[in-house]
Amino acid sequence: MNFRQRERRGASEAPEINLIPFIDVLLVVLIFLMLSTTYSKFTELQLQLPVADAEAQRDRPKEVIVAVTADGRYQVNQQSVAGRDVAALVQALGDTRAGKDSVVIISADAAAPHQAVIRVLEAARRSGLNQITFAAQTPTAAGR
């Protein structure tokens, strides 16, 4: 048996830290982050709304047509709505005496504020009208 004492390091020698496993882990994390990160630029989106291929609009007795202008004013079945809030829209939808199976057609201007359309959706929900659709122009009528 060998009972020799090991050589002791001097006080000036510092213990070595092996950095290779640490670098390997960092590279794996970096590759994971690079692959899982999505790069999207929302400021570069070009949108033109609304345009769709749809059949010509017909008069149906169970339809409630809500028009939204570019400045956020409303018309329900060609009758102007006094206010621009949800309560005024609920009142106007109630005045149409539409049944629960009526279809609400939202005909919004392409430049109408998004919030104005959301108010129509909220008013229809509060009125109990669950069938909602959006009107759109055909591509040839949109001036392309």
Q: pTM higher than 0.95, yes or no?
A: no
Full residue range of the structural domain in which residue 82 is found: 63-134
Is 128 domain-assigned?
yes
**113 located within any domain:** yes
We report the CATH number of the domain holding residue 88 as: 3.30.420.270
* 77 pLDDT higher than 80: yes
Q: What are the contacts of 89-95 at 24+ separation with CB within 8 A?
A: 89/119, 89/120, 89/122, 89/123, 90/123, 90/126, 90/127, 92/123, 93/64, 93/66, 93/123, 93/124, 93/127, 93/129, 94/127
Residue 139 resides in a domain? no
Query: Percent of the chain beyond pLDDT 90?
Result: 16
Domain count, the chain: 1
- pLDDT, average across residues 23-37: 90
- Residue 35 pLDDT more than 70? yes
Task: Give the pLDDT confidence score for residue 95 in this predicted structure.
Answer: 80
Position 98 in a domain? yes
Rounded CA-CA distance 76/74 in Å is 7
